[in-house]
Amino acid sequence: MTGLFLEPLDVLFLRGNKLFGDPGSYGEALIPPWPSAAAGALRSRLLVDAGFDLAAFAGSKNAHPELGTPQKPGSFTVTAFHMARRDREGRLEILVAPPADLVINEPEGCKKEDCNGKPVVRRLQPSRLAAGLASSYTLPLTPVLAEPTRSKPAGGYWLTQAGWAKYLKGETPAADDLVDSSALWSLDHRVGVGLDATTRRAADGRLFAVQAVAPIERHHPIYICKDKDEKKRLVQAGYDVGFWVEVKGATLPTSGMVRLGGDGRAAAIQAVDFTPPHPDYERIVQDRRCRLVLTTPGFFGLPPHDGSESGGEGWLPTGARPEEKREDGAIRFELAGVAGWIVAAAVPRAEVVSGWDLANWQPKPALRAAPAGSVWWLELDRGVTAEALGKLVERGLWTDEQYDNEPRRAEGFNRAALAVWR
């Protein structure tokens, strides 16, 4: 596999799926962006480098040996996409949004500008509810948070690479394994002017506003706690924030630039020798249970390409068989040689993913997706091997038919990690 660090050279317009541009409208930034943003940037660069006729490719008249066609994807697949930062020595560190089974709280009276009130990270633990407690939740174990004291939920934190490695091992990250989003990027509010499509001049009364994302660079000032400070002090960041993308099935450029996000803002490409943290698959096999964690949004109700109806449910991952249940309500799971039972789930509210189809010059279908960070607890069958677990992570949550035909597979959706369940 090939890994690249994408370093933004300007502010980025990381747009979501909401229309904007009408008078008075406001375009919010989506952080992190969907993996399709990186997939589109790299595929466009590959086509240009190969001298392809873009119009012929868009019409599926000219297939690329690695990209295939817009309708029939080739071997190119985004297998990982994370926010990342690179220090002065060139070392790379990925940053991960906290999964749904982690709850970050701040003590009463704690302020982010203070150093004496660090956030506390706790994990949801699947538990059987006491008799008499009823809900619409159907699985046998309910993720429960046991809190010894009152606290308030805190947002805006990301897991460092060390924190993510702890999470995959089944450990609970500490406060030092968190980084605040203010140390990673800032938002720059921009005003745009709508253009008349015929005259290409500014249209009267068509002002709109958008959020631009300004990633932190090594010379930018950030606030941190040092030694026994009571208040955070201002220092140079010492790192550049960008994105790490891993691709298989294609020979990628190792230098130059790509157009990333809205308005085609430039991002520099740097090939990196980097291996992200992985769980102990042998430990998972020994324990015969694990957590399945989405690292990119997941489409789990997609209709098959043969036109038949989909039997999937949006909150259950690919491989789940809701029609096959144990007596306690656990749902059968079988995919890529991994078999077991889904006994608990922590799935936040669905998000809607769309995008812009450059080939057909129209919006992509808006699809409901399970958000990145969704977690399912699995009890594994005897005979599941470490090799099968690794294959599941490598392929992503796709059936064989979807893997061969679904364009969203190439874009990096339905990617997951396995974590030890303690």
Tell me which of 22-36, 212-226, 302-316 is least confident.
Answer: 302-316
pLDDT on residue 1: 57
Identify the domain containing residue 403 by its residue range. 281-420
Residue 228, pLDDT > 70, answer: no
Q: Is residue 30 part of a domain?
A: no
Residue 263, pLDDT > 90, answer: no
Q: Is residue 115 part of a domain?
A: no
State if pTM tops 0.75: yes
In terms of pLDDT, which residue wins out, 404 or 161? Answer: 161
Write the CATH number for 298.
3.30.70
Average pLDDT, the chain: 89
pLDDT on residue 60: 78
> Considering only CA atoms, which of 302, 298, 272, 321 is closest in space to residue 365?
302
Q: Is residue 288 part of a domain?
A: yes
The pLDDT of 77-93, averaged and rounded, is 96
Q: Is residue 258 part of a domain?
A: no
The pLDDT of 232-250, averaged and rounded, is 93
Q: Is residue 135 part of a domain?
A: no
333: how many CB neighbours lie within 10 A of its CB? 24
Q: Is residue 4 part of a domain?
A: no
pLDDT, tens only, 9-53:
999 999 877 666 566 667 788 999 999 999 999 999 999 999 998
Query: Where does the pLDDT of residue 308 fall: very low under 50, low under 70, confident under 90, or very high at 90 and above?
Result: very low
pLDDT, tens only, 320-348:
999 999 999 999 999 999 999 999 999 99
Q: Is residue 362 part of a domain?
A: yes
The pLDDT of 286-310, averaged and rounded, is 80
Number of domains in the chain: 1
The pLDDT of 383-407, averaged and rounded, is 95
Residue 314, pLDDT > 90, answer: no
% of the chain surpassing 90 pLDDT: 65
Rounded Cα–Cα distance for residues 165 and 178 (Å): 12
In terms of pLDDT, which residue wins out, 23 or 289? Answer: 289
Omega cis (within 30) before 32: yes
Q: Is residue 378 part of a domain?
A: yes
Rounded Cα–Cα distance for residues 186 and 129 (Å): 42
